[in-house]
Structure 1
Amino acid sequence: MRVPSRSPGQPPGTPLAAAPAHRLPAEGARQPVPAATPDLDAYRAAVADLLVEVTALADPASTTARQVLLDERLREPAIAAVLDATPQGPIGARETLLLEMARYRPNPRSSAADLTALVRIYLLSRIDVMWWRDAPAFRTDAQVQASPDLVDLEWLRRRDLLRFRYQEQPVTLLGRGVRAARRQLLPDARPRTAGLRFRRARREVIALLNDIGREFARLAPPATPPLWVTSLVRSAEYQYQLRRLGYSAMVPSGHCLGYAVDVELAWFARFGVRDALAHLLLARQRAGEVNVVDEGQTWHLCLSPAARPRFRRAYEAEMGA
């Protein structure tokens, strides 16, 4: 059974009704903050304007000027409305951002190619944190593995119930050697990604990815590979490990709540469909289904609370759960 892409009679790109999200009986967390309180279009536009100024002050000698700029711009109503709805509040968000900028060092592992990208990733990911501010995080790897709210993707893959692909991280020395040899022999056969630490995901997220995967398959030319997912749920324990390794893993993060995913974009340029996939994802953002953060090679998506109940129903209808 096909997961319905939108409500009956709702044309693509039409914003969803901003209804409060309802927690399902299986989850004991408190209800998240309604997603439609701040004006997210105004927030994203204000962030885009701020990034232009950050780029002009990106040199090391402009550290003080950047701090003055952030002091002023983060107080603007469009930005402050979102930051005020996060657990840290605007002051905590400002201090965290300044600390991230002070610690930033470019490296091949980081999705933040420069200081401007770091600011963009941090500020746009605060929408995720605002949406799910009351959702409990998975603190340890053991909590991720044991959670009844997460489903094993491999079980679904073997039954041809997934419309996207992924690869797991190799856990043995032999597995890492095989992965390295495959990359040397066929360097472009798969995206360059470490793979999933956990092959588990929330039911609603699976339904969202299946829906995007089907739409992508319809618009892509024949022989184009399916949608590729590079990251799903993470524990806070793993998120801090990624930070120590040099990745721009923000804290707090929608990944640690199970509502965020990363999908490959750059690899699809070789098939001529990178821009088409980008437009598809941005259309989903305009429809109110997800928050989208351009992280370069991959794009970060976070499911909105307003869309969660519909995708939960879609998962149950498709999987017969």
Structure 2
Amino acid sequence: MRVPSRSPGQQPGPSIPPAPARRAAAELPRRLPAVEPDLDAYRAAVADLLVEVGALAGATSTAARQVLIDQRLREPAIAAVLDATPSGLVGARETLLLEMARYQPSERSSAADLTALVRIYLLSRIDVMWWRDAPTYRTDVQVNQSADLVDLEWLRRRDLLRFRYQEQPTTLFDRGVRALRRRIRPGAAPQTAGLLFRRARREMVALLNDIAREFTVHAPAGTPPLWVTSLVRSAEHQYRLRRLGYAAMLPSGHCLGWAADVEMTWFDRFGARDTLAELLLARQRAGEVNVVDEGQAWHLCLAPGARGRLRRVYEAELGV
């Protein structure tokens, strides 16, 4: 079983090309499907698999779970998606089994149990399939210096954002201020760490602005604007999150710049959670995004086919 490297990028050292005859199978070019897989069938097959995983949740069922995963991932509806990801079906299977073997419950993790872990991993493979040719932001420096990303704070100060976010505190003083605000006004904002990088692709800004406007129209009166809890991340940061106990999958749409997480649980207090959920699922049915229920927040990834329209929207509405 291959173990994913914990290094965020290639390490320096001599480059010795492998002999072609011994090249690993994962490195060989794979023929991608001529027609994109049926995502409705994939999601339905994953839902069926999750029922069976839940029935084998006990610690004594490890072997039975592995047999189940081996069998079900080979079903055509699931295999078609996984085989179109960079690691292929075999790599996806190995990674999922490794994630399950390493799983430890954590209050920080969006994966409340093994079933949630499998759901998050498999549904997020749609992101990876869509953006299989997109380069990864491997380091924090690459995120901060990328010309493909815009500064959210610059846009916010010019009233060009329709959604809200908060930055992750980086000093002891800032953390103290955050904690004090939560004591004085509990529930005034979601319980989230905030954005480490206040940067995003222009298309993602346009998407989130569009969702935020629609949410404002349909949500009950007095509901706060859409709240974004995560956007672009570096692979370097993704590894940090994993060490802290978060279910930060790799590869990830966040590390490609095409994913965002939006708060859900906090909107229960305003009676607006179901409204937001239906708006997001409607966009998924329309083929614009992939949606993954991660509990407190829902994960969104933009579909490649919607990129051009949203880029035009950004340029027309924001003009920057």
Distance 2:202 2:319 in 1: 12
Aligned to 2:251: 252
Mapped contact 2:290–2:303 kept (Cα < 8 A): yes
Within-5 A mapping of 1:85-234: 85-234=84-233
Distance 2:227 2:34 in 1: 27
Pairwise CA distance, 1:186: 1.4
CA distance in 1, matches of 2:161, 2:244: 31
| AA matched with 1:96 | T
Q: Which residue of 1 aligns with 2:42?
A: 43
Per the TM alignment, residue 260 of structure 1 is displaced from its structure 2 partner at its CA by 0.3
Residue 177 of structure 1 and its aligned partner are, at CA, apart by: 0.4
Residue 278 of structure 1 aligns with which residue?
Answer: 277
Q: Unaligned regions of 5+ residues in structure 1, if any?
A: 1-32
1:222, distance to aligned residue in structure 2 (A):
2.0
> Which protein has greater RCO, CA pairs closer than 8 Å, 6+ apart?
1
- SS where residue 301 of structure 2 aligns? strand
Identical pairs, percent: 79
Q: What is the rounded CA distance, in whole Å, between the counterparts of 2:202 and 2:116 in structure 1? A: 31
Alpha-carbon deviations, 1:182-230, whole Å to 9, x = none?
A: 1112120000000000000000000000000000000012221000000
Hey, what does 2:70 align to over in structure 1? Answer: 71
Alpha-carbon separation, structure 2, partners of 1:283 and 1:85? 25
Give the 3-state SS of the residue equivalent to 1:246 in structure 2: coil
Segments of 4+ moved more than 6 angstroms: 33-36
Give 1:36 deviation, angstroms: 6.3
Q: Which moved more, 1:100-109 or 1:177-186?
A: 177-186
**Whole-Å Cα distance in 2 between the matches of residues 185 and 36 of structure 1?**
55
Counterpart AA for 1:251: L
Give TM-score scaled by structure 1 length.
Answer: 0.89
Rounded Cα–Cα distance in structure 2 between residues aligned with 1:185 and 1:243: 31
Residue identity opposite 2:258 in structure 1: Y
Task: For residues 40-87 of structure 1, give each alpha carbon's deviation from its aligned partner in whole angstroms, at most 9, with x where no partner exists.
Answer: 000000000000000000000000000000110000000000000001
Structure 1 position 34, deviation (Å):
9.3
- 1:121 Cα offset (Å): 0.1
The one-letter code of the counterpart of 2:218 is: L
**Following the alignment from structure 2 to structure 1, what is the Cα–Cα distance between the partners of residues 173 and 248?**
28
On the 8 A contact 2:33/2:84 being kept in 1, the answer is no
Q: CA separation in 2, counterparts of 1:75 and 1:159?
A: 51
Taking a change above 3 Å as real, the CA distance of residues 68 and 251 of structure 1, as seen in their structure-2 partners, is: same
Q: Which string of whole-angstrom CA distances, capped at 9 and with x for unpartnered residues, describes residues 259-281 of structure 1?
A: 00000000000000101100000
Indicate how the Cα distance of structure 1 residues 207 and 149 shifts in structure 2: closer, same or farther if over 3 A, else same: same
1:35 CA drift (Å): 11
CA deviation vs aligned residue, 1:152-186 (integer Å, no higher than 9, x gap): 00011011110100000011110000101111121
Q: Does the 8 A contact of 1:261 with 1:301 survive in 2?
A: yes
Partner of 1:227: helix, strand, or coil? coil
Which letter does structure 2 place at the counterpart of 1:303? L
- Partners of 1:123 and 1:317 in 2: CA distance: 36
Instruction: Report the Cα distance in structure 2 between the residues aligned to 1:251 and 1:98, rounded to whole angstroms.
Output: 13
The range that moved more, 120-129 or 179-188, is 179-188
Whether the aligned pair in 2 keeps the contact of 1:35 and 1:305 (CA below 8 Å) is no
Task: Decide whether aligned partners of structure 1 residues 41 and 74 sit closer, same or farther in structure 2, where only a CA change above 3 A counts.
Answer: same
In structure 2, C-alpha distance between the alignment counterparts of 1:298 and 1:178, rounded to whole Å: 24
Whole-angstrom CA distance in 1 between matches of 2:293 and 2:318: 31
1:20-59 equivalences under 5 Å are 37-59=36-58
> 1:313 — aligned with what?
312
Q: TM-score, normalised by structure 2?
A: 0.89
CA contact (8 A) 1:141 1:238 kept: yes
Tell me the SS of whatever aligns to 2:228: strand
**Number of residue equivalences:** 289
Q: Secondary structure at the match of 2:227?
A: strand
Residue matched to 1:289: 288
Which runs of 5 or more residues in structure 2 are unaligned? 1-31
Are 1:266 and 2:265 counterparts? yes
Which AA in structure 2 matches 1:93?
A
Paired with 1:204 and 1:194, the residues of 2 have a C-alpha distance of 24
